[in-house]
Structure 1
Amino acid sequence: MNILLAGQTFSFSIKLTAGLFLFLRWWRYRRDSLLFWAFFFLSSSVSIVSEIFGFKTGVPIFQALGVSFLAAGIVSFLDEEALGFPIKSLKIAAFALPVTVSTYVVLYALLHSLITSKPNPLYLSYGISGIFYATTGAIFWTVRRFYPRTGTILSATLVAHGLHKMDYPFLRPVEWFAPIGFAIGALLNMIEVLAFVKMVLSERFEYVVPEDRSLLVRKGVFLISPGEFNNYVEALSDFPVLAFARRRDLPEAWEVHLLTTVEGAGNVGPTQLHRIIEKTRSYLAEAHREEVIGVVVIESLEYLLMYNDFRSVLKFLATLSDYVVLYGGMLVLVFDEKSLEERQLKTLRQVLNAGGTK
């Protein structure tokens, strides 16, 4: 039992520390996801204290509360990162969860006698929390595109930990297995904490400010000035933007195609509007499959107008706008409004149903 107590104490310590750490990060960055995850770890630590001191009803209550905070944090995180809630995952969860919970309860009712003659409904509620724990981990798989290593590890660990919690009602009464179970739980707790901390301390996480990102990344077509474009470059420096530009000093995370008459890998000629359309369609379709808002930037619209008449460029932009609507993306056109006649600017806004950022 000393091993059991040591495992519980270790898990409590790292979860309490992680909760306080994330709360301090929330105080600095004010991201809702940080606050929810701080409460997730704190609630989980209280559940462990309940186990240590024999407050049996506290174990499932604070476990369930912790999972609720975990799920709320993940949903908030997806919103802050402009990923959007994965509808496909939601549909799967909506279908599978009721069946899974019911099947789990039936299995416990049928198999508990093989382990103990006294079924414990409190243990059962702990296991049901594990089902939702694993489900939130599966939803978190969505972030692997922007947090490839940490997101994958964290998602896999949450799923594994949820499955481990599901064995609690069956194996907790088994004396010889209890220390092993808590040792496994302590290991998973440690991996979770390290993954959360690494993600929270990453440059991407620290740089993204929810209010700024939500204002910048929106579905539709937007006309902005070169000065405003600098704000986009700074705020979306680590966002996978597709850009067609004259500038060369754009973020490395962007897929940039230079607009130039000089041939070269990735370069696009000013009269090759069909290539821009095809690349944009492909990019937005992929972003749509990944359930994120794809951002396409055309910088220096004036350059295209030097080689094409206004009517041709307008038709070209209208086609891009149709793809933006079809795939739920965002198109940013960067140019000086003074370079167009007032009638042309008005027509441009009407055809594209475009807005500004002000």
Structure 2
Amino acid sequence: MCGKVVSSAEMALFGVSAAVILGAAGAFFRIYRKTNRRSVLFLSVSAILALVETFYDVQGNWVAMVIFEAAFASIFTYAILNLVEEEGLLPRYTTISLLSFTPLVIATYWAIHGRWAGIEFDYTSTVIPYAVSGFFIFISGLFIYGIRTIYAEKAKRLSIVIVLLGIYKLSYPFHRDVMMANVIGLILMLILVLFGIYYMKRLGEEGSFRRSPRKKDNESPHGGLIPDGEQYKQLMRTLKQKQLLLFTRDIEWMSSSKWEVYFITTLKGENTISPTNLPKMLELSKRHFHAMGQSGERGIVVVECVEYLKEYSDFQTVVKFLSRLIDISKVYGGTVLIPITQEAWSERELRVMKRVIY
């Protein structure tokens, strides 16, 4: 089972693969250190498992190869589900997360049964457990597609990369023993891994991808507020060292290292949102409240451009948006700050807004 003669070409391929996979593990770990996201730490662990699987594949140890491939697929899928859950798009500790370990369970059962039945393991006997692992990686890519409402093109492209990686894993048993096809397939796989590292790094650079340290917060204001100018300035000074989500028309806020800031404009660019894209603002707010709640802090969302929003939507649409935002904050125990210029609103509009917010 383990007596395969390893050619120099196979060792060279393993060397290249090892360098790329170790690079992936290191890149993911650096993103973890920057964002404190548990999901990215699991991605780093899955990369190490993939490296071990590749080593046993080259050695021809089929049992170890399948076990570590399944462990890689399980931890990778679990990491992706954690990432989606961190965005508030999946309930916490769902059965789906436990199902991510299906490849490892099946591979372990396969190995134990094979030993018990005295089966002589060879490469062809690894097809089914390997296919299950590939299928779960494929499914992970579909889950990543779900965060496109927050991360747009970055999430879509990362989803495509993971889906293609899953397809490669599913096809691997068909070309494993054909040297030229194996080389081409491996090169394509390494290219996909490099693209995966790139798009994960892009996500790590997003302000909305950051998570706060795990500590309790008893100092943040509660409930929905409409402070006047001076009250608002005083509140923002007290929140200077806290993490909050800010939708603004003030370009000076964009340089804040502590806050997650989005510039509301009709122009396209990094960390910009159209004034008509209210659903994205709600989705980002939900993600922020969810992530902060998990870390033991009260989420804070500031909408300091509500007059600008009214220029592009009618009053009823803006009120529905604020009502929905307040509802989300109540569900997650968060805070919404909405500074306004009172002269920009009629008495009736102010009464309606105050009724919605309070």
After TM superposition, the score normalised by the length of structure 1 is 0.59
- Structure 1 Cα separation of the partners of residues 208 and 33 of structure 2: 15
CA contact (8 A) 2:36 2:213 kept: no
> Which residue of structure 1 lines up, in the alignment, with residue 173 of structure 2?
169
> Which residue of structure 2 lines up, in the alignment, with residue 141 of structure 1?
145
Identify if the C-alpha distance between structure 1 residues 193 and 25 changes in structure 2 by more than 3 Å, giving closer, same or farther: closer
Give the CA deviation at 1:28.
5.2
SS of the residue corresponding to residue 84 of structure 1 reads coil
* Superposition map of 1:16-31 within 5 A: 16-27=22-33, 29-31=35-37
Counterpart AA for 1:42: I
- Structure 1 Cα separation of the partners of residues 342 and 47 of structure 2: 54
CA contact (8 A) 1:7 1:183 kept: no
The one of 221, 224, 227 aligned to 1:222:
224
The one of 204, 207, 212 aligned to 2:207:
204
Identify if the C-alpha distance between structure 1 residues 193 and 282 changes in structure 2 by more than 3 Å, giving closer, same or farther: same
Identify if the C-alpha distance between structure 1 residues 180 and 213 changes in structure 2 by more than 3 Å, giving closer, same or farther: farther
SS of the residue corresponding to residue 222 of structure 1 reads strand
CA contact (8 A) 1:48 1:59 kept: yes
Counterpart AA for 1:18: A
Give the number of aligned pairs: 277
| Structure number with bigger Rg | 1
> Which residue of structure 1 lines up, in the alignment, with residue 288 of structure 2?
none
Structure 2, unmatched stretches of 5+, are: 1-6, 107-121, 254-261, 264-271, 276-302, 329-333
SS of the residue corresponding to residue 147 of structure 1 reads helix
- Structure 2 Cα separation of the partners of residues 171 and 204 of structure 1: 42
> Which residue of structure 2 lines up, in the alignment, with residue 130 of structure 1?
134
- Deviation track 1:307-342 (CA, whole Å, cap 9, x = no partner) reads 537xx8565444x46xxxxxxxxxxxxxxxxxxxxx
Counterpart AA for 1:308: E
> Which residue of structure 2 lines up, in the alignment, with residue 276 of structure 1?
318
> Which residue of structure 1 lines up, in the alignment, with residue 339 of structure 2?
299
Identify if the C-alpha distance between structure 1 residues 2 and 199 changes in structure 2 by more than 3 Å, giving closer, same or farther: farther
* Superposition map of 1:17-166 within 5 A: 17-27=23-33, 29-80=35-86, 82-85=87-90, 120-166=124-170
The one of 342, 347, 355 aligned to 1:308:
347
Identify if the C-alpha distance between structure 1 residues 7 and 184 changes in structure 2 by more than 3 Å, giving closer, same or farther: farther
- Structure 1 Cα separation of the partners of residues 208 and 319 of structure 2: 32
Identify if the C-alpha distance between structure 1 residues 52 and 233 changes in structure 2 by more than 3 Å, giving closer, same or farther: same
Identify if the C-alpha distance between structure 1 residues 29 and 190 changes in structure 2 by more than 3 Å, giving closer, same or farther: closer
- Structure 2 Cα separation of the partners of residues 151 and 213 of structure 1: 29
Kindly, what percent of the aligned residue pairs are identical?
17
**2:221 pairs with 1:182:** no
- Structure 1 Cα separation of the partners of residues 144 and 215 of structure 2: 20
- Structure 2 Cα separation of the partners of residues 67 and 306 of structure 1: 55
CA contact (8 A) 2:138 2:166 kept: yes
Counterpart AA for 2:49: S
Give the CA deviation at 1:131.
0.4
CA contact (8 A) 1:157 1:192 kept: yes
RMSD across aligned positions (CA):
4.9
Give the CA deviation at 1:65.
1.5
SS of the residue corresponding to residue 167 of structure 1 reads helix
SS of the residue corresponding to residue 224 of structure 2 reads strand
- Deviation track 1:88-137 (CA, whole Å, cap 9, x = no partner) reads xx99xx9xx99xx9xxxxxxxxxxxxxxxx87232321121110001111
Identify if the C-alpha distance between structure 1 residues 5 and 72 changes in structure 2 by more than 3 Å, giving closer, same or farther: same
Counterpart AA for 2:203: M
Give the CA deviation at 1:35.
1.1
- Structure 1 Cα separation of the partners of residues 41 and 30 of structure 2: 9
Identify if the C-alpha distance between structure 1 residues 194 and 6 changes in structure 2 by more than 3 Å, giving closer, same or farther: farther
- Structure 2 Cα separation of the partners of residues 213 and 147 of structure 1: 26
> Which residue of structure 2 lines up, in the alignment, with residue 106 of structure 1?
none
SS of the residue corresponding to residue 209 of structure 1 reads coil
- Structure 2 Cα separation of the partners of residues 191 and 34 of structure 1: 16
- Deviation track 1:205-231 (CA, whole Å, cap 9, x = no partner) reads 67x224589989xxx953487344564
Counterpart AA for 1:17: G
Identify if the C-alpha distance between structure 1 residues 8 and 154 changes in structure 2 by more than 3 Å, giving closer, same or farther: farther
SS of the residue corresponding to residue 196 of structure 2 reads helix
Structure 1, unmatched stretches of 5+, are: 102-117, 288-293, 322-351, 353-358
> Which residue of structure 2 lines up, in the alignment, with residue 109 of structure 1?
none
